């Protein structure tokens, strides 16, 4: 019997379209002899849809067509299992059953732990990070604070809320000046380089912060690493097992990888190693393996595993690094808990995409079974002496 995999994608974030591409790609690479794929598309208004046509990219070109043929659903748990139930008509009925959820969402409102929390609440097994790992992976400030505690090198930075900037601009300008220009300004909880810009002067800084504030209420400003080389490493695993991919060297003419570099540059996605990426999300040029020394490669792998463990990550994660070419200092830029294309192109020297997806699902099922063996409740007679709110007040007051 096939395992029914509910692939959840879309969402309300600014990375909505990126999520669709990643998910359609993944669904078409899954082993359909082993898995029954159930697409679950979350529209920007948070309405959930299902239907086999959602596995095809063309359906997303016309949202009216999608709404006409896909079924509106919600995910519920019953005595018989986990089901997508219709939300239209007089009576709800089961549209599809799923055994395990596979989130392929990007950004705020889903990848940040929101979706993991919902899936945990109803008790369904799912692929990837738990609530904590997902939340840490999304918040660039908290993840840096935790990495610093674990002696993982990160660029110099400062952070603040939008209200703090509006009420005490001078204070924040001084904190940024102490870092030294140029600096890079980022919304703290977004991905795909959205809302990110470089400031070389205080005047430019104000414009960059104003732009970032339109996307998030929490902003991080950090030093621009000189002589920069961007290298990525993907980690597949959980708390007890991890393995690293080949390292990827990211090439761009800009000071950092922009949204256009990643998704809108055109091109056929050929890697310079000669590996064809097919419909790989990123159209920026990539060299695999990265052209760095063995010593640097070992350092990146070591820090990748250390970051993966410190942030309680799981599934397939891509960790981005910034390297100063001259000093060979290595900094962790950020983890991507659900990377574009699930970083499959970085694994092609050791496993194909179908195998990578299979490994992720198998690991999630194993983790779910292990978690089910843990004690989550205990017998207690705490309510046996409870005599209503009045009695409770008397006990509390003693």
Asked if pLDDT for residue 248 goes beyond 70, the answer is yes
The verdict on 170 and 249 lying in the same domain is: no
85-94 residue pLDDT tens = 999 877 789 9
Longest dimension (CA), the chain: 75
The verdict on 208 and 251 lying in the same domain is: no
Average pLDDT, whole number, for the chain?
A: 88
Task: Over range 33-56, report the average pLDDT.
Answer: 96
What DSSP string runs through 155-203? --EEEEEHHHHHH-HHHHHHHHHHH-SSEEEEETT--TTTT-EEESSHH
Please name which of 257, 236, 265, 146 lies closest in space to residue 191, comparing C-alpha atoms. Answer: 257
CATH classification of the domain holding 340: 3.30.470.20
203 inside domain: yes
The predicted model scores a pTM of: 0.87
The verdict on 28 and 81 lying in the same domain is: yes
The verdict on 122 and 77 lying in the same domain is: yes
The verdict on 200 and 266 lying in the same domain is: no
Q: Where are the beta strands (DSSP E) in the chain?
A: 3-10, 35-42, 48-50, 71-78, 81-86, 94-98, 100-103, 157-161, 183-187, 197-199, 218-223, 228-237, 242-244, 248-251, 285-287, 315-324, 330-336
137 in helix, strand or coil? helix
Q: How many residues does the chain have?
A: 398
What is the number of other CB atoms lying within 10 angstroms of the CB of residue 251? 14
180 vs 201: CA distance, rounded Å: 10
Asked if pLDDT for residue 261 goes beyond 60, the answer is no
Helices (H) and strands (E) in the chain — how many of each?
12, 17
> Which tokens is 49 given?
């849809």
396 inside domain: no
131 inside domain: no
> Which tokens is 179 given?
């870092």
271-306 residue pLDDT tens = 333 333 334 444 458 999 999 999 999 999 999 999
Domain interval for residue 230? 137-153+226-369
Please list the residues that pair with 121 across neighbouring strands: none
């Amino acid at each position: 019997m096939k395992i029914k995999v509910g692939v959840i994608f879309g969402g309300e974030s600014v990375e909505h379209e990126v999520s669709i591409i990643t998910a359609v790609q993944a669904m078409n690479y899954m082993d359909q002899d082993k898995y029954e794929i159930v697409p679950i598309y979350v529209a920007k208004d948070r309405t959930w849809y299902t239907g086999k046509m959602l596995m095809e990219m063309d359906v997303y070109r016309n949202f009216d067509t999608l709404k006409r043929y896909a079924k509106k659903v919600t995910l519920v748990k019953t005595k018989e299992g986990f089901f997508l139930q219709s939300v239209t008509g007089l009576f709800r009925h089961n549209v599809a059953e799923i055994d395990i959820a596979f989130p392929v969402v990007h950004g705020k409102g889903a990848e940040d732990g929101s979706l993991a929390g919902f899936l945990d609440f109803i008790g369904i097994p799912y692929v990837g990070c738990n609530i904590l790992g997902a939340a840490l992976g999304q918040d660039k400030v908290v993840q840096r604070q935790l990495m610093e505690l674990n002696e993982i090198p990160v660029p110099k930075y400062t952070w603040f809320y939008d209200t703090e900037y509006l009420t005490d601009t001078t204070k924040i300008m001084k904190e940024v000046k102490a870092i030294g220009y140029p600096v890079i300004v980022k919304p703290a909880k977004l991905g795909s380089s959205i809302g990110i810009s470089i400031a070389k002067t205080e005047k430019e800084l104000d414009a960059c912060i104003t732009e970032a504030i339109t996307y998030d209420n929490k902003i991080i400003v950090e030093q621009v690493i000189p002589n920069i080389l961007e290298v990525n490493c993907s980690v597949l695993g959980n708390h007890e097992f991890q393995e690293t991919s080949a390292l990827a060297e990211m090439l761009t003419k800009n000071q950092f990888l922009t949204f256009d570099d990643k998704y809108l540059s055109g091109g056929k996605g050929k890697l310079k190693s000669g590996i064809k990426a097919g419909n790989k999300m990123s159209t920026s040029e990539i060299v695999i393996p990265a052209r760095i020394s063995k010593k640097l490669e070992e350092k990146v792998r070591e820090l990748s595993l250390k970051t993966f463990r410190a942030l309680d990550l799981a599934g397939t994660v891509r960790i981005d690094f910034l390297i100063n070419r001259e000093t060979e200092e290595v900094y962790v830029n950020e983890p991507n808990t659900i990377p574009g294309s699930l970083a499959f192109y970085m694994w092609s020297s050791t496993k194909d995409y179908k195998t990578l997806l299979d490994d992720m699902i198998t690991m999630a099922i194993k983790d779910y079974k292990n978690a089910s063996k843990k004690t989550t409740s205990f017998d207690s007679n705490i309510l046996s002496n409870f005599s209503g709110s009045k009695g409770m007040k008397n006990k509390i007051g003693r």
